[in-house]
Amino acid sequence: MQLQYKDFEKILNIGIRLSTETDRTHMLAAILESGMEITNCDAATLYLYEDGGLSFKLMKTLSKGIDRGLNGDVIDDMPPVPMKETNVCSYAAIHREVVNIPDVYDSGRFDFSGPRHYDSLTGYRTRSLLVVPVENNEHELIGVLQLINAMNEAGNVVAFDRQHEIIIRSLGSMAAIELTNLSYMEALKTQIYSFAEALTTAMEGRTPYNALHTRNVGRYVNLLTDHINELHEKGLCSEYISPADKEQLTLAALVHDIGKMVVPLSIMNKATRLEADMEKIEERFKLLKALYKIDLLEGSLTGQAYEEAVADLDRELEFIRRTDRAEYVDDEAYAHVLELAEKKHIGRDGAALPYLTEREIACLSIRSGTLTAQERKEMENHVVMTSRILEKVQFYPGFSMVPKWVGAHHEYLDGSGYPNHLKGDELDFETRLLTVVDIYDALAATDRPYKEPVPREKALDILRTMAQKGKVDGRLVEWLSQALAQADENMRVE
């Protein structure tokens, strides 16, 4: 047979298909289907070399409508072919040799009892056979491609053309190289994910709740991206997150808070405004009572004045305790903190002992939350540290956007976020998504030592308010709400 221009064009197109395929199952299917297309044969089997034998991976017979393994299903009802030279596929694998059999019923070279038994059961007639070893450029055996029953233009079974041998072998080698590269990429991804998991484990040993937060954000990212893609398929939104970008987002979720490993635990786990300083205040107030008692005994303080001073200390200490754990410090309480800041005991020698230190005043003046301005600055610095850490990681192109998305996950659309005050179109859609799920879990988390969990609907309402103020993407908030509701429904059905 003389190859025509259309044949070469077909071969080139197959090469392009193989070189651009990124899914392993699709790659294997492309090898089998391309071999069948080039040789115009009726059936094919692709074996992979695994654990010292040839495992059935894909099977296809056009005339019988057989199609197994091409959608990722496992062929587990057929045992692997042992590596014995009496078997044609094993022989081709052992010797790395193409075997072309015009008619298996007329050949005594190999043991064809298996195909003959199959034919007797199904009524099929196995005749011509082309068996090609699939090996990469490092001469590693990947598997074997077995093509069955080549057909001429009239649809009659004929022997495989000799010209096809070199073409199919070249196809196999090219595919094997691509499969090997794909395996390397999968191994690289696994390594990167294991690195991220190791960092999460390190955080878990330091702050268990933060490690759980990392995993929760990863879970919400997958939940939300799947929901967005479902909406896209239904024509309900234009956004679509490709499998590659979903992988990047998942990795971004796993590493988005690694900079918190350098934040002091005294800040990370600060449950109240004063924390350990509260004990110091308790001791100081005991000392103040003792000093006033000394003033009374020395005659510099009247009995009534002493009683008033002690009662005032008790009232102020109770105020401090309430303020320490208050959800919010209103204007009245804030003004009282400023008054308290001026109070001090003056001894006979003129030495002054303030009721509160400057740090304690700063802590009690915190309107919302538990961190002072300086502590919040240190906490916010975790984003900068995360970016610095990720800058040292050599991400391969498939994960190149991870540092950018992670470094901006505390930015807001109105520019009021940190650390770079990015806004609007400066924030990728993926960054906006990461921001929404990060805030949601921070609000709804049940294990934070410094806050009570916020119920789901309240957390979503807080996000909706942030969206109304132009801080986060409102569409993502609503899509997250829908995704969470759908997840609940799926659990009830299960």
pLDDT score of 332: 96
**Helix or strand holding residue 319 (H, E):** helix 303-325
What Å distances lie between residue 149 and 61, 186, 493, CA to CA?
A: 10, 35, 48
pLDDT at residue 102 in the model:
94
DSSP-derived pairing of the beta strands 352-354 and 344-346: antiparallel
Q: Give yes or no for a contact between 211 and 199, defined as CB atoms under 8 angstroms apart.
A: no
Element (H, E) at 101: strand 99-101
Q: Would you state the pLDDT for residue 237?
A: 94
The DSSP code sequence of 15-71 is HHHHHH---HHHHHHHHHHHHHHHHTEEEEEEEEEETTEEEEEEEEETTTTEEESTT
CATH 1.20.200.10 fits 5-184, yes or no: no
Give the start-to-end residue ranges of the domains of the chain.
Answer: 5-184, 207-267+376-493, 277-369
Nearest to residue 258, comparing CAs of 384, 374, 442? 384
| 66, β-bridge pairs | 61
Cα 400 to Cα 392: distance, rounded to the nearest angstrom: 13
Query: What pLDDT, on a 0 to 100 scale, did the predictor assign at position 265?
Result: 85
Residue 448's identity, in one-letter code, is R
pLDDT by 10s per residue, the chain, length 494: 555 556 666 666 666 666 666 677 777 788 888 889 888 999 999 898 988 999 998 899 999 999 998 877 888 888 899 999 999 999 999 999 999 999 999 888 898 888 888 888 888 999 999 999 988 777 888 889 999 999 998 899 999 988 888 888 877 777 777 777 777 777 778 888 888 888 777 777 777 677 788 889 999 999 999 999 999 999 999 999 999 899 999 999 999 988 888 888 888 888 899 999 999 999 999 999 999 999 999 999 999 999 999 999 999 999 999 999 998 999 999 999 999 999 999 988 889 999 999 999 999 999 988 999 999 999 999 999 999 988 888 887 788 999 999 999 999 999 999 999 999 999 999 999 999 999 999 899 877 766 778 899 999 999 999 999 999 999 999 999 999 999 988 877 65
Phi, psi of 199 (to 5 degrees): -65, -40
What pTM value is reported for the model? 0.70
Whether the CB-CB separation of 364 and 274 falls below 8 Å is answered with: yes
In contact, 402 and 252? CB cutoff 8 Å: yes
Closest by Cα among 315, 321, 311 to 281: 321
Q: Who contacts 184 (Cβ-Cβ below 8 Å, separation ≥6)?
A: none
Question: H/E/C letters for each residue in 396-454?
Answer: CHHHCCHHHHHHCCCCCCCCCCCCCCCCHHHCCHHHHHHHHHHHHHHHHCCCCCCCCCC
At residue 192, what is the residue type?
Answer: I
DSSP reduced 3-state for 136 = coil
For residue 340 the two structure tokens come to: 């308290």
Identify the pLDDT of residue 327.
86
According to the CATH classification, is domain 207-267+376-493 in 3.40.1350.10? no
| Residue 128 near residue 148, CB atoms below 8 Å | yes
Whose tokens are 């957390």? That residue is 459
Q: How far apart are CA 401 and CA 420, in angstroms?
A: 17
Nearest Cα neighbor of 13 from 2, 5, 3 is: 5
Residues 6+ apart with CB under 8 A from 237: 228, 231, 475, 479
Bridge partner residues of 100 (DSSP): 130
